[in-house]
Amino acid sequence: MRQEEETPVEELSGRTAVVTGGAAGIGRAVGRRLAREGMKVVLADRDADTLEATAAELRGEGHEVTAVPTDVSDPEANVRLADAAFDAYGNVHLLHLNAGIGGTVPLLDPDPEVWQRVVGVNLLGVVYGIKAFGTRMVDAGEDGVIVATSSGAGAEGTSYQSGPYAATKNAVVSVMESLYGELRDRKATVRAALLFPPLTESSMGNPRVEQWLRDNGVPTTLMQPEDVAELLLDGVRRGRFYIRINEAENERLFGNRLSPEFFAWNERITRGRAEAQISDTAPDGHLW
């Protein structure tokens, strides 16, 4: 079943976007794609050197890009990022809370450090970003969208070998669904959206991970960051909340690069997860 679509952001050119995790990977690709749409782009990342190199590269292509080194796990750093964006451009129309890190550690490991770090970036980075930007975007009274990046781990199920990552990406889904409701109830001209990238070439995705997933029954295909940027732009233009690749997007945007087996697996796992909750059975079917 196709999801209902909200009012899209009608015009991007000349408006302002902020992208966290913008130095590399999906964030870098999204920043470039939005800049090519004529947006003024603020890129944020904790890796200041790579961030500035990315911004300089985009400026060299003729785009208006500002780089703001930011640790999204720090609430005050998010406020400084918002101040920089609003001071430079007057308003923010597209906020992509994309910064994320992996985390592979057994729950039975007594050291909490990995959990604290991953929760700080993947979950609290989204919460702090909403708090720093959300009210200011709403009060400006202009059309806008706040997008957060989840993951297959937040959609199809839990990758138990990456507990911190899976838990935070599931939590991001709940946060953004809550934001959707708050914005709806306020009749805000800013809306929420949730991006579910497929397995993507990045620091957390590579051919080795693709093969591991395939060996464990997930018929996935490694996509490129530019593919995710195209998916996000298409979803924003069409006013989608759940921005995911389904079979229509697979054909229209990506030439059927993802196999029919992937979508069959996706539906089976997603429905199986819901059925396990309804029937009060074990969740083994969606533990990779």
pLDDT for the residue numbered 273: 82
- Burial tier of 152 (Cβ tally within 10 Å: 0-12, 13-18, 19+): buried
Q: How many residues does the chain have?
A: 288
Residue with tokens 């919460």: 127
pLDDT for the residue numbered 93: 98
Catalytic annotation, pick one of 89, 128, 165, 242: 165
pLDDT for the residue numbered 248: 93
Mean pLDDT by 10 residues, the chain (288 residues): 53 96 97 97 98 97 97 98 98 98 90 96 98 98 97 80 90 97 97 95 86 87 96 97 94 95 90 85 64
- Burial tier of 105 (Cβ tally within 10 Å: 0-12, 13-18, 19+): middle
CA distances from 156 to 104, 146, 159, 225 (A): 18, 23, 9, 20
Domain spanning 16-206+223-258, CATH class: alpha beta
Q: Which residue in 82, 92, 198 sits closest to 149, CA to CA? A: 198
What is the spatial distance between Cα 196 and Cα 175, in angstroms, rounded to a whole number?
14
Whether the full predicted model's pTM is greater than 0.85, yes or no, is: yes
Q: Is 89 labeled as catalytic in the residue annotation?
A: no
Q: At what angle do helices 247-254 and 225-238 cross, to 10 degrees?
A: 110
Contact (Cβ atoms closer than 8 angstroms) between residue 17 and residue 31: yes
